Amino acid sequence: MTLPRTSRPFVEFPAILRAHGFAVAPDQTIDFLQAISLLGPRDIADIRRAALATLAIPRERHAEFDALFQAYFLGQALAAPIEDEEGEEGVDAFEPSSETIEIDQDEGDEEPGELATSAELLGRRQFPPIADPDALRDLARRAGKELPRRQSYRRFLDSRGTRIDLRRALRQALRRDGEVFDLPKTRRKTKQRRILLLIDVSGSMKDQSDGALRFAHALVQSADSVEVFSLGTRLTRITAPLRIKDADRALDHVGAAVADFDGGTRIGEALAAFLAVPRFAAYARGAATLVLSDGLERGSPEALISAVQRLSRVSWRLDWLSPLAADPLYEPRTEALSACLPYLDALVPCDRIDAMCTHVLSLARPA
């Protein structure tokens, strides 16, 4: 579909922001277009206000935003390229759509997965079909009863309830000439707590990412509310393809949607991009958040520490599942992960699918 010529600048500008490290999701671009149509706009200031309101520009980056805005809409040249404090590009927040995007894959001499790197490697991942392990079938059978639950705002009748239903009591009195033989009591229903999976798909996690995604697919199929994102040199929401019932077809769609498999490691920037998109950050509120990563961060330690602090504040619990922790002698030695330990509820050894399933089924049990 070809965009109207008048709409192209308002679609291209969010793409320019993403290229300069601003976390702008595709649905925010749609909100930007709708805001402009509502405002008129009467002048260029209306366009700027619409962008600030819908694209979630952080206050501390307003100066960078204004420079890009003036360069694009007013034709003013930038004094210098805009980079972050480390001089590296930021991380995009990406949600797959029905559009097809062709991406060239870099061919390096080194085998991906041997070392953690900050370089971006874009390509498509193929997953060989395998039979579901017994642990995944066990997870599907037990998930409904054993996954953590929380209280809902809805209530139901219960003789051992904690609140008297006055409306029901009055209706009974009207039907019985003012007599109330017993006071109806209610209690709150429970519902399954949301589970948020953040899966590291960088090169250093190459041997574990296949199993982690199969675990994520089984969890999406068996739980009521699960959100899944991949982390690498970019952030990608992969919940939708994982809702496909057949595991091999679902992973084939994930392989097409995630462009940074087996590439670099910028976990902190990816988590910051997740938290910068309001709709994505809402998924973490009150959720059991699980980060599946070895923690070999090559980006800024401060970015990872800050993101983990914020995640721990909004999540019901925050667990870090690391394949390296399966070694009894393992100790987190990286600066970033060591500083994050006080904000984690657990650092869990998870190098196999059965370990992931066991941990998620134990979340509801007392520590």
Domain 134-144+193-361 has CATH 3.40.50.410: yes
Cα 187–chain centre separation = 33
The domain spans of the chain are: 8-82, 134-144+193-361, 153-189
Q: Are 284 and 311 in contact (CB under 8 A)?
A: yes
Rounded Cα distance, 29 and 10, in Å: 8
Instruction: Put residue 15 in one of left, alpha, beta given phi > 0 → left and psi -120 to 50 → alpha.
Output: alpha
Q: What is the pLDDT of residues 254-296, one digit of tens each?
A: 988 888 787 777 888 889 889 988 889 999 999 999 999 988 8
pLDDT at position 314 is 94
Q: Are 252 and 273 in contact (CB under 8 A)?
A: no
pLDDT at position 169 is 82
pTM across the whole model = 0.65
Rounded Cα distance, 266 and 73, in Å: 31
pLDDT at position 346 is 92
pLDDT at position 115 is 44
Write the DSSP string, 230-261. EESSSEEE-HHHHTSSSHHHHHHHHHHH---T
SS3 assignment for 25-82: CHHHHHHHHHHHHHHCCCCHHHHHHHHHHHCCCCHHHHHHHHHHHHHHHCCCCCCCCC
**CA 235 to each of CA 134, 190, 268, 269, 270: distance values in angstroms, whole numbers, following the listed order:** 30, 32, 11, 9, 5
Query: Using omega within 30 degrees of 0 as the cis cutoff, is the peptide bond preceding 184 cis?
Result: no
Closest CA to 25 of 275, 340, 299: 275
Residues of the chain scoring pLDDT < 70 = 1-3, 39-41, 75-132, 299, 367
The two structure tokens encoding residue 79: 């004094």
pLDDT at position 99 is 40
Q: Which residues contact 148 (CB under 8 A, 6 or more apart)?
A: 192, 193, 288, 316, 363, 364
For the chain, the residue count is 367
pLDDT at position 83 is 44
pLDDT at position 317 is 94
Instruction: Put residue 61 in one of left, alpha, beta given phi > 0 → left and psi -120 to 50 → alpha.
Output: alpha
β-bridge pairing 185-192 and 149-157: antiparallel
**Terminal CA-CA length for the chain:** 54
pLDDT at position 81 is 39
Q: Given the structure tokens 């962008």, which residue do they identify?
A: 51
For residue 192, the SS3 value is: strand
